[in-house]
Amino acid sequence: MKIVDCMEYKKKEKSPDWLLTFFIGIIFGGFVVWWNKEQFVQDSYFLGEEVFQRFGYTSIYKTGFFYYICKNRLELFLFLVLSSFTNYIGSVFYFTILWFGICGGVIGSTLLLKFGLKGLLLLFGLFFPHICIYVPCFIVLMKFLFQFRDIRAFSKNNSWDKKCTINRRILIFLVMILCFIAVMIVGVWIESYVNPIVLKNITSFFW
């Protein structure tokens, strides 16, 4: 079975400006922090020094942490997949990217305000190395979902599905989704078991 036969149609349109949307979110998140910088600096519970100090000697139940993160990541993943069956996948995509940017801007700006340049290393510790799995997986997933949406819209009004039956398209879709889930689980495992070690070594270096 040739996957290319079922995925050969590509709608000619401008690719999503996801990077610009992400940077807009970062700028907006940073602006929110700088606008209320006194509140963010005084809040010791949000990325405060005491939080990182406690993390340095706190033992994490990694199995429970793994299931917790896996649940949260799967919820977002299923939401994105289901949205591809609607006409709102574009809006959902941009809103998700914007939200990621805002969160990154808030976290990064808060760490810079509280710890200066040391905050950059802490920011690295919060997101490495699992971000190396999540970001490529998310980008490829969204491109696949956009293409899947375009193929469905095209095949409704054309005889394009002579080469690819409904069953073959469903099978390809399910196989791709399972592949994305497998990659995501790898990212969750890294976030649950590897990232705490990285962050703990960074925090122990400072405190």
Over the Cα atoms of the chain, what is R_g?
21
CA–CA distance, 145 with 12 (Å, rounded to integer):
15
- Judge whether 122 and 111 are in contact, CB under 8 Å: yes
pLDDT tens digits, 148-166: 776 655 455 444 444 556 6
Rounded alpha-carbon distances, angstroms, from residue 74 to 92, 119, 147, 185: 16, 29, 21, 9
Dig out the tokens for 14 from the structure. Answer: 């401008």
Per the listing, tokens 């993390």 go with 55
- Counted residue by residue, the chain has a size of 207
Round to whole Å and give the CA distance between 177 and 134.
15
Instruction: Answer whether residue 85 shows pLDDT above 90.
Output: no
* Least confident interval from 87-96, 125-134, 187-196: 87-96
Residue 89 vs residue 29, higher pLDDT? 29
Give backbone dihedrals phi and psi of 119, rounded to 5 degrees, phi first.
-65, -30
Mean pLDDT, residues 169-189 taken together: 91
Contact, 6 vs 172, CB < 8 A? yes
Rounded Cα distance between 153 and 160, Å, is 11
Nearest of 22, 18, 47 to residue 99 by alpha carbon = 22
pLDDT in tens, 89-103: 888 989 999 999 999
Average pLDDT over residues 104-125: 92
pTM of the predicted structure, to 2 decimals? 0.82
Separation between Cα atoms, residue 123 and residue 126, nearest integer Å: 5
Please provide residue 165's backbone torsions phi and psi, each rounded to the nearest 5 degrees: -75, 170
